[in-house]
Copies of this chain bind each other. A is one copy, B any other.
Amino acid sequence: MDGHSITMLGTGLIADFYTNTLHGQRSRDQVRVVYSRSEPRAVDFSRRWSIPEHTTDLAAAINHPATDVVIVGLPNFLHAEAIELVAKAGKAVLCTKPLGRTAAEAKRMLDTVERAGIFAGYLEDLCYTPKSLKAVASVRAGAIGDVTWVRSRETHPGPHSAWFWDGRLTGGGAIVDLGCHCIEIIRNFVGKGNRPVEVLCHTDTLVHPIADEDNAVALIRFESGAIGQFEVSWTFRGGMDLRDEVAGTHGTIWMNHFLRTGFEMFTAGGGGGYVAEKAETSAGWLFPVGDEVSELGYVDMFSDMFRALDNGGTPQETFYDGYVVNAVMDAAYRSAKAHAWAPVELEWRGGSTPRIASAPETYEGQVVIKREVLPDGRQKLILKDPASGDFSDRVVAAS
């Protein structure tokens, strides 16, 4: 029943979300030490969340004798250094997304934690939203047949912190910020053993005066033939649009995680305050979210991480997953540059997945393309002659 004592690295928006979750509800886990590069931010943060100690010394924060878990909530360009130090300290490490700025960097972090033999979890919250967890379970149980196509969309009007806009520090633009979520969501639906083979990506900088992409659309072709499609944008207007759509041979799943979740408010103004992350207005029709840290997956994410840590198991999202995501993003950038499909280059550990297959039904030697029920109960068959390739209709009695 004992909880974990945590060192939090970073004091930005993501560290706020993490600590809010860790200290929320009836949790037995607590942040014990917080590190920031800035003394005032470290002080503010420790007061805001009642954290006993703060420091601007990264190594001291990581090596603090009272903590057993280190959470990396730092800007992308600082992940590698922090993970190196945690590995030396021999503690469990949980790292925010994206793992690295490139697959090469992510691979080095993966190697580091594997060599050190420490527990390492990849904090990809949006794979843990309650809707996603239930939807993935339904897909595994066969509710929609074989997955053919997954669309994951994450768009908003742009990040809150200056460093996010600097591709030199992050590794890119909207793809690195948002596409990493989409890619891993897609992988959970098509199956983690389903190898991402190649990527076709279009990027553009349409609105903001920056060097990196503020919009991107990409297709990922998986070994099974399934298509993953991600759409990311820093120029969306109206709030934060997080939607996933999954198509299968026998069903369909639609999920809206943020803007349309059954909570709608109109206000003539006044009495405002915080509506939701990235909300753009505080009057008119607003669409708040009930419990953001739950709806965005933070609660289930940390539960899974600590359960795996306590049981000596593997969390749902690992550093290897983070590395795969980086490899797909690398391919996306190469594709966008080459204006053509680019292969995903990675050390694949996931095995092999067969092609989506359907053994077509036959009727009197012809291939049944489709069955439709007519108003009188009879069925209309659309048939294909395997020899000539000709198509024809046939009406038959109710089956």
Contacts and interface: CB of A to CB of B under 8 A. Distances in A.
Interface string A243-254: 000011111111
Interface in A261-314: 261-274, 280-281, 283-288, 290-291, 294-295, 299-300, 302-303, 306
A29 interface: yes
A231 B270 CA distance: 27
A165 B250 contact: no
A251 B273 contact: no
A230 to B, nearest CB: 11
A124 B294 CA distance: 21
B262 A149 contact: no
Interface stretch (A60-68, A99-107, A176-184, A389-397): A389-397
A369 interface: yes
A291 B294 contact: yes
B339 A341 contact: yes
Interface string A349-365: 00000001010100000
Interface stretch (A84-92, A112-120, A201-209): A201-209
A368 B134 CA distance: 34
Contacts of A161: 382, 393
B285 A142 contact: no
Interface in A150-164: 151, 155, 157-158, 160-163
Nearest to A264: B254
B237 A248 contact: yes
B202 A356 contact: no
B288 A285 contact: no
Contact of A253 (B227, B264, B392): B264
B252 A25 contact: no
Interface stretch (A42-50, A213-221, A321-329): A213-221
A282 B367 CA distance: 26
Nearest to A278: B372
Given A200-B202, A233-B247, A300 B25 contact: yes
A229 B250 CA distance: 25
A142 to B, nearest CB: 3
Instruction: Find the residue from A26, A133, A138, A265 having the highest chain B CB count within 10 A.
Output: A26
Contacts of A389: 166, 168, 211
Interface string A31-47: 00000000000000000
A252 B237 contact: yes
A76 interface: no
B217 A202 contact: no
B25 A27 contact: yes
Interface centre among A144, A208, A255, A265 (most CB of B within 10 A): A265
Contacts of A28: 1, 3, 26-28
Nearest to A165: B391
A41 to B, nearest CB: 12
B391 A157 contact: no
A382 B131 contact: no
Nearest to A386: B209
A253 B265 contact: yes
Given A3-B26, A138-B265, A288-B134, A236 B229 contact: no
15 contacts: A1-B3, A26-B27, A26-B306, A138-B267, A141-B273, A144-B271, A148-B235, A149-B215, A160-B380, A200-B339, A202-B219, A237-B249, A237-B251, A237-B267, A253-B265
